[in-house]
Structure 1
Amino acid sequence: MARGAGGRIVFSVGAAVISLAAVFTMAWADPGRAEAWEKGRIFLWSVAGEKGTLHLLGSIHALKDDAYPLDDRIEQAYAKSVRVVFEADQEETAGAEMQKELVERGTYTGDMALKDHISKDTCRLLEEKARAAGLDTAKLQRLRPWLCAVSLSAMEMARMGFSPENGIDAHYAARAKKDGKERVFLESARLQVDLLAGMPEDLQEEFLRQALRELEVIREKSAVLAAAWKSGDVRALEEIVSISLNEHPKVRKDLFTERNEQWVSHLEELMKARGDTLVIVGAGHLVGDDGILSLLRRKGFGPVQQ
């Protein structure tokens, strides 16, 4: 099970989706596509509000230590903002109550085990990949398919030096608290757990199979994801996120479309508030026809990429 400082389970639906998108992408995004976008752009947009500017920053939820400092334009957006908006409160996610719920909803009790809820073929694949990675398959048997998939990809990314504690949202959450800025959360940590724990078992098993198959190439695909984000290449990142999700319309609807629509309603209200606002959400939520940028444009707003 993936754990962070103090033994906490490292989890957020954002980090889960990004790590799953990295391993579930069945076709390669070409890093050269970044050249199709205006040179020097980054994954930051500004939207004029009634009494201030809304800054939209697409986040990568797990990064390496050397990712900082970030681009000056991001730092300036943070400095100008009187409030910072996040998907959810990471302190709530790391709290004892939520950690207890993660264990209850993500693990089996008694004599139940993962092998009893997945096919024999998936069991063989799990044992093969776990042995190759030097993992204890007995411990993995306590995890439900969705948490096993997230944990495997998270552990592999951790081995490559990616950490949720270095993620952009975690970085600015700590700074906003220290600097006394107003912090706003678009949803509860419990809702985030509900989204993944509530998936049907057959879909959970497919997620697990995809994660297992792609463990060997997650390094290259994570590099492509990071390159697309750094260069502000919307199309490349949209391709990375969309290819696998298009195969699972219910997951796309639950994890992206419906949440994006709810978030945009919150953002419309925030644009009426006095002072600038920095909004930090997973980069995958900004792109695509059902992404936040498209939804804002359909409502008459004009996001401008920085």
Structure 2
Amino acid sequence: MKNWKRSLLSLLISAGLLATAVPAMAAPQQPAVKINNQNVEFAMNAPIVDQGTTMVPLRTTLQAMNVQLKDVQNGSIYVVIDGKEITLESKTKLIDGVTYAPIRVVGEAAGYEVHWVQQSRTVLLVSKATGEGARGFMWEVENNGNTVYLVGSIHIADDSFYPLRSEFEEAFAEADYLGVEIDISKAADEEQQKLIMNMGMYQDGTTLKDHVSKETYAKVEEILKQNGMEPNALDAFKPWVVETTISTLKSMNAGYEAAAGIDLYFIQKAMERKLPILELESYESQLGMFNGFSKELQEKNLNAALDNFDVLDDYVDELADTWKTGDDQKLLEFTNSMADDPEFNKAMLIDRNIVMADQIDGYLKSEKKAEYFIVVGAGHFLGKDGVVQLLKDKGYSVVRK
């Protein structure tokens, strides 16, 4: 298996460690605005949230949308869009001499779809002409009056992944249950933090340098120094934690983070709807899998991350493009590359896929006549050992959506 792929596969198949390895970056206090994925720069006056409504400096925002502002009078906003004069009836607010207006009103009037991404507190305006959103990965299975949607997640993302294709949102809107690997909104809970400390840290007084070669440890020191950290900052942790931390740091530097991942996006929407969340795995099982890797495999994985650190962001971009384009062949290449290491492949995919497929089989055979929206790492679905094939082996028809 190409070493760089080894460093990225957790982004497609394991949510838990990514959510706990590196503290999530704090969300900005004020909302941001992007138009067709380009940031709108506000020189002095930033957007605000006023009683649940995102208000933006009117003139600056309209200029970014190529809309001309003619006048504002008594709750009416007079603008010129594509040479046509239009009157918008909307509340406005004067703050420090600057007129603010609701972003949704002006955005929709200018022909944009307006979306709110809670994780990054960003308002996304997307031209309707640009088409439907990222394709992603989704399959549908029906049985006994039950419907299961299988959604392949990438566990880190950025705002460019959103808005999602309408088929995702429509299927989720009808769901009775959300299923995920683990509920990563609980990553900061005391119980989960104890798990990572108990499993991921040495408890016998030894440190990382006692368990890896001098060459490997020297590479860890160098990478940490390059990133403004103390060279011994990760000494207390086992190689599997150090490897994921280093890979996640690089991904975050490239603008990707677990806070914008596809699974967390739907977890937060489920919480808003008070939708029951089913966990197909647990923090303990995921962390225990990594912790159960042999000493040799842990150091091998760590070296893959270290040796490819400088180019990891390029490969994360490639992984992101695979998800956005819904490229089944490219995803299958990533999945098949794991077969080069039997220990890694069995633990990360084969064993877990069997458990997931059995649980989904239970949902399909249920008497509840319900709709299940199941979001797990995209790497779990394809290939001869993937969840899709396992469900087909059980007699189900699995349809790509």
TM-score by length of 1: 0.84
- The residue correspondences of 1:72-87 to structure 2 (distance < 5 A) are 72-87=166-181
CA distances 1:79-135 after superposition (whole Å, capped 9, x unpaired): 111111111122444310120121122123574221111011212222233333333
Establish whether residue 203 from structure 1 lines up as the match of residue 223 from structure 2: no
Which structure shows the bigger proportion of residues in strand conformation?
A: 2
Task: Report the secondary structure of 1:138's partner residue.
Answer: coil
Q: 1:298 — aligned with what?
A: 393
Instruction: Verify the 8 A CA contact 2:147 2:370 in the aligned structure 1.
Output: yes
The aligned counterpart of 1:147 is 241
Deviation at 1:63, TM superposition (A): 0.5
Q: Aligned residue for 1:276?
A: 371
1:68 matches 2:162: yes
Q: Distance in 1 between matches of 2:281 and 2:348?
A: 12
- In the other structure, the counterpart of 2:359 is 266
The amino acid of 2:364's aligned partner reads M
1:89 aligns with 2:183: yes
Residue 226 of structure 1: aligned partner: 320
Report the Cα distance in structure 2 between the residues aligned to 1:131 and 1:106, rounded to whole angstroms. Answer: 22
Aligned AA (1:234): D
Distance 1:177 1:251 in 2: 34
RMSD: 1.8
Deviations 1:256-292 (A, max 9, x none): 1111111111111111331211110000001111110
Structure having greater relative contact order (Cα 8 Å, sep ≥ 6)? 1
The secondary structure found in structure 2 opposite 1:139 is coil
C-alpha separation between the residues in 2 aligned to 1:43 and 1:93? 25
Find the counterpart in structure 2 of residue 127 from structure 1.
221
Instruction: Deviation per CA, 1:229-262: give whole Å up to 9, x if none.
Output: 112211201212332x223211211121111111
Contact 2:357/2:390 (8 A) holds in 1 = yes
The farther-off stretch of 157-166 and 82-91 is 82-91
State which of 191, 207, 213 in structure 2 corresponds to 1:113.
Answer: 207
Q: Does 1:47 align with 2:67?
A: no
Report whether the alignment pairs 1:3 with 2:23: yes
Shift of 1:66: 3.1
Task: Report the alpha carbon displacement of residue 68 of structure 1 after superposing the two structures with TM.
Answer: 1.7
2-structure distance, mates of 1:42, 1:156? 23
Measured at CA, do residues 110 and 265 of structure 1 come closer, stay the same or move farther in structure 2, by a change above 3 Å? Answer: closer
Percent identity between the two aligned chains: 30
Q: 1:42 to 1:61 in 2, by over 3 A?
A: closer
Greater C-alpha radius of gyration: 2
The reply on whether 1:241 has 2:261 as its aligned counterpart is no
- Number of aligned residue pairs: give it: 272
Q: What are the ranges of 5 or more consecutive residues in structure 2 without an aligned counterpart?
A: 1-20, 27-133
Contact map agreement 1:225 1:240 (CA 8 A) in 2: no
Write out per-residue CA displacement over residues 21-64 of structure 1, whole angstroms, 9 at most, x where no aligned residue: xxxxxxxxxxxxxxxxxxx9641111122113211100011101
Within 2, Cα distance between the matches of 1:218 and 1:159? 10
Q: Unaligned regions of 5+ residues in structure 1, if any?
A: 7-39
Note if contact 1:57-1:278 (Cα within 8 Å) is conserved in structure 2. yes
Q: TM-score, length-normalised on structure 2?
A: 0.65
AA at the equivalent of 1:178:
E
